[in-house]
């Protein structure tokens, strides 16, 4: 293990997952396959929304934003992870490590904001159907999407600035398949209290704050749906938000486990497994969930597939 100050342009070593060569090759195959499917699925969603006029409404505009985000979210992590599993390059320069961390967590924060905007959109559509088109105009949906992107990248500026100024004078080995904040905090020989306070504050604001708004939105949605007199009407109303609800449960569940608690070095192996769910599996499942659970998207997909 190398010693010295690793904050001055030197490199870290990413361990990935422990195991023999067969496990590493298997992981590389799984990660490569899921990455290709994730890119293909999310590009397909964006293309469908752009091509078919009946999908050019706020709900699908937010969905295309989410798909675009998932493409870059996985790209920031997976290609490097594959090279680690193949044993080609386990090293990552300090600057690249900080940039990877920034993009992964900034895109993660943006996803929380986008999912909240989508919950608000469904709340308006179901609870105020007559006023929906007036309130959720094209301009309003664009403002919410832009606000999600800008807020996600700005809110990470402080903690990333703090961690980039830390000293790393001990081991340069990161027990992960990407540059995570927990790993760098463990390796740092600086006072990390300011960073940990900033990270906890952001986790509370972004994760729990957006989660609370989403929960309140769905309480209102469900209370409205149960008052619909016909069973067909209730089923139709619920079908418009069921895919979003599934994605919300998956995304929030994994991230609350990871970040709204105190992480220790002993939990790093568990963290890697949960990170695989949030960074690899969820972006893969999103387009399939929305395709299978949404009649309009499914209709557009089969129309494009059949060439009619």
DSSP output for 121-162: HHHHHHH-TTTHHHHS-HHHHHHHHHHHHHHHHHTTHHHHHH
Report the pLDDT averaged over residues 252-273.
66
Report the pLDDT averaged over residues 126-145.
92
State percent of the chain over pLDDT 70.
Answer: 90
pLDDT-derived band at 155, boundaries 50, 70, 90 = very high
Sheet architecture: strand order including 91-93: 91-93, 11-14, 173-174
pLDDT-derived band at 286, boundaries 50, 70, 90 = confident
Instruction: State residue 113 phi and psi, 5-degree precision.
Output: -65, -40
State percent of the chain over pLDDT 90.
Answer: 38
Taken as a whole, the chain contains a residue count of 308
Structure tokens at 244: 């979003």
Structure tokens at 216: 């309140």
Structural domains of the chain, with CATH? 11-306 (1.20.1070.10)
122 touches 241 (CB < 8 A): yes
Q: Residue 308: what pLDDT?
A: 58
pLDDT-derived band at 1, boundaries 50, 70, 90 = very low
Cα–Cα dist 225/268, whole Å = 42
Q: Residue 267: what pLDDT?
A: 64
Q: Residue 2: what pLDDT?
A: 47
Cα–Cα dist 275/254, whole Å = 8
Q: Residue 109: what pLDDT?
A: 93
Angle between helices 94-127 and 157-164 (to 10 degrees): 160
Q: Residue 3: what pLDDT?
A: 47
How would you classify the pairing of strands 173-174 and 11-14? parallel
Q: Residue 73: what pLDDT?
A: 93
* Per-residue pLDDT reduced to its tens digit, 27-76: 899 999 999 999 998 998 898 888 888 788 898 899 899 999 999 999 99
CA dihedral 105, 111, 116, 119 (to 10 degrees): -160
Structure tokens at 231: 């069973």
Cα–Cα dist 99/111, whole Å = 18
Report the pLDDT averaged over residues 171-196.
86
Residue 84 reports pLDDT greater than 50: yes
Determine which of 116-130, 139-153, 217-231, 243-257 has the lowest per-residue pLDDT on average.
243-257
Residue 9 reports pLDDT greater than 60: no
The residue ranking higher by pLDDT, 20 or 308, is 20
Cα–Cα dist 153/46, whole Å = 22
Report the pLDDT averaged over residues 107-114.
94
Q: Residue 259: what pLDDT?
A: 62
């Amino acid at each position: 293990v190398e010693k010295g100050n690793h904050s001055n342009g030197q490199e870290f070593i990413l361990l990935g997952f422990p195991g023999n060569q067969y496990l590493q090759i298997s992981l590389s195959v799984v990660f490569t396959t899921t990455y290709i499917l994730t890119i293909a699925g999310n590009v397909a969603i964006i293309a469908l929304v752009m091509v078919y006029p009946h999908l050019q409404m706020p709900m699908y505009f937010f969905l295309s934003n989410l798909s675009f985000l998932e493409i870059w979210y996985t790209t920031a992590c997976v290609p490097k992870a594959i090279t680690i599993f193949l044993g080609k390059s386990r090293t990552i320069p300090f600057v690249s490590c900080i940039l990877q961390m920034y993009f992964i967590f900034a895109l993660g924060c943006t996803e929380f904001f986008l999912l909240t905007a989508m919950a608000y959109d469904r709340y308006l559509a179901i609870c105020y159907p007559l006023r929906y088109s007036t309130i959720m105009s094209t301009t309003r949906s664009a403002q919410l999407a832009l606000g999600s992107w800008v807020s996600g990248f700005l809110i990470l500026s402080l903690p990333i600035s703090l961690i980039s100024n830390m000293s790393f004078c001990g081991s340069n080995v990161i027990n992960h398949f990407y540059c995570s904040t927990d790993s760098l905090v463990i390796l740092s020989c600086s006072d990390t209290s300011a960073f940990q306070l900033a990270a906890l504050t952001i986790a509370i604001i972004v994760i729990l704050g957006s989660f609370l708004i989403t929960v309140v939105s769905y309480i209102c949605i469900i209370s409205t749906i149960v008052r619909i007199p016909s069973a067909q009407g209730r089923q139709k109303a619920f079908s418009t938000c069921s895919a979003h609800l599934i994605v919300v449960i998956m995304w929030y569940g994994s991230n609350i486990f990871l970040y709204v608690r105190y992480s220790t070095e002993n939990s790093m192996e568990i963290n890697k497994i949960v990170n695989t769910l949030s960074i690899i599996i969820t972006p893969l499942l999103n387009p399939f969930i929305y395709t299978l659970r949404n009649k309009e998207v499914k209709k557009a997909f089969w129309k494009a597939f059949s060439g009619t």
